[in-house]
Amino acid sequence: MSNPLRIDRDSSAHPDPVRVVLIEDDADLRRVVQLTLQFGAAWIVETAPDGPAGIETVKRVRPDIVLVDLMMPGMDGYEVCRRLASDATTARIPIVLLTARQNLDPERVRESGARGVITKPFDLDALAPAIVRLCQEENTR
């Protein structure tokens, strides 16, 4: 895993694109987000359909960023965040929550270890820049 600040660069000028793990239970949305980030931002995107598979994928891939759906059956996004944050091999990887819920408790989001939240539905053209912004804001604090 490399420094998450590198995600703002032009991928055509650098040989190593941003690596993302997307954990999303909705298969259609998972595919749309994957294609958007792969073709729109030239990122490498691995996907997982649920929390346990996502955690294993993160441990295997060691991505630059993890995107996690908040509301998933079984293990929700908060629990995925807590587990990744408590594991020394994944604790430093920035996590962004994706959710359709409005008015989330900011304290609960912070305590989960997530860098921030992107609310669905989101503008696909603005998705990669929004992820970059959330990760960079945390790194400037």
What domains, with CATH codes, occur in the chain?
Answer: 16-139 (3.40.50.2300)
What is the number of residues in the chain? 141
- Asked if omega into 52 is within 30° of 0 (cis), the reply is no
Give me the tens of pLDDT residue by residue for the chain, a chain 141 residues long.
Answer: 444 434 444 444 555 889 999 999 999 999 999 999 999 999 999 999 999 999 999 999 999 999 999 999 999 999 999 999 999 999 999 999 999 888 888 889 889 999 999 998 888 889 999 998 888 875 544
- 81: left (phi > 0), else alpha (psi -120 to 50), else beta? alpha
pLDDT on residue 15:
59
DSSP 37: I
pLDDT on residue 76:
95
Encoding tokens for residue 105? 């408790």
pLDDT on residue 141:
44
Using a cut of 0.85, tell me whether the model's pTM lies above it.
yes
